[in-house]
Structure 1
Amino acid sequence: MTDLRKFLILIAAGGSAAVLLGAIGSQYIGGLAPCHLCILQRWPHAAAVLIGALALAFRARLLPLLGAIAALTTSGIGVYHTGVERGWWEGPTTCTSGPIGGMSTEDLLNQIMSAPLVRCDEVAWQFLGLSMASWNALISLGLALIWIAAWRRTA
């Protein structure tokens, strides 16, 4: 295994580990409860960390490509979540608010009682005008490029 390939894999998998630890830290230390889409964005990062460990142990050409797919997956979910937060499109009905017109009082009460405590269409934290979902999308896109560079180094 070339040293550059190993270094790129370490950076890409380490980046996913850092993002994942940051998300978990913001939840348990910072008190920011994750919504449904936030949780979905964590799984591909966990997969990328596992893929990174496997790619360092085995010289399989496919592993860095799978790491790139994992990073692109969480980036895509981050873009989707950003659109939900900004009102560009509707999010999943399980974690966003919807219209209440034409609902009976009982149906409205049932909707309120079954609604999650954390909504996907509200920004809980932002930095430089970008939400956590937006930062995840951008960082994960960069990680995908690093994974692709590692894949290209596998001859």
Structure 2
Amino acid sequence: MRRDIHLSRARLVAILLPTALLGGAIGSQYLGGLFPCEMCMWQRWPHLAAIGAALAAIFLRRNHFASAVFTLLAAFFIATSGAIGVFHAGVEYHWWEGFTTCSTNARPAGESMLDTIMKARLIRCDVAQWTLFGVSLAGFNAIFSLTGALGIYLLVRRWSQT
């Protein structure tokens, strides 16, 4: 039973980390008024996939091998979001050029589509809307996601070796 604690902890991190990061992203959008750019949205999709894989791992917790596989799959998806976060942060810090278009929150409401587009605020992927100590939200996603994915991997590895 002691051996299973590592896999249980890995599953816990695999469900809590993407849920918290996705919740933070959605909260910053709807409560903080930070509308996401296209690359911000790209980072959300792997977190959704990670939540699904982690839920499958939890559901299959009696089958340790299958649970470990889905936990590692969740870690892979979390790391994927982190890798996208690294790329996005690099675009924001102008280390390299991005390849996306700008996003907008334009929604036609009784106006012509052209008028709506012309009045809409553009959200640029190469400009951080918010930073803390010089680190953007994409940068924080990269840090937390890559560190968390590594932690999950190490916990599953430790489980498999005991």
The offset of 1:9, in angstroms, is 1.2
Aligned to 2:12: 10
Residue from 137, 145, 156 that aligns with 1:140? 145
Q: Quick one: distance in 1 between partners of 2:142 and 2:10?
A: 19
RMSD: 2.1
Q: Quick one: distance in 2 between partners of 1:85 and 1:149?
A: 31
Aligned to 1:47: 49
Number of matched pairs = 139
Name the structure, 1 or 2, with higher relative contact order (CA <8 Å, separation 6+): 1
1:107-118 maps to which residues of 2 (within 5 A)? 117-118=122-123
Aligned sequence identity (%): 45
Contact 2:39 2:100 in 1 (8 A): no
Contact 1:86 1:121 in 2 (8 A): yes
The residue identity in structure 2 corresponding to 1:148 is Y
Q: Quick one: distance in 2 between partners of 1:84 and 1:27?
A: 20
Aligned to 1:108: none
The offset of 1:82, in angstroms, is 0.7
Specify every segment of 5 or more residues in structure 2 that has no aligned partner in the other structure, as ranges: 104-116
The residue identity in structure 2 corresponding to 1:7 is R
Under a length normalisation based on structure 1, what TM-score does the superposition of the two structures give?
0.81
Runs ≥4 in structure 1, deviation > 3 angstroms? none
Specify every segment of 5 or more residues in structure 1 that has no aligned partner in the other structure, as ranges: 97-111
Change (3 A) 1:46 1:38: same
Q: Quick one: distance in 1 between partners of 2:54 and 2:22?
A: 14
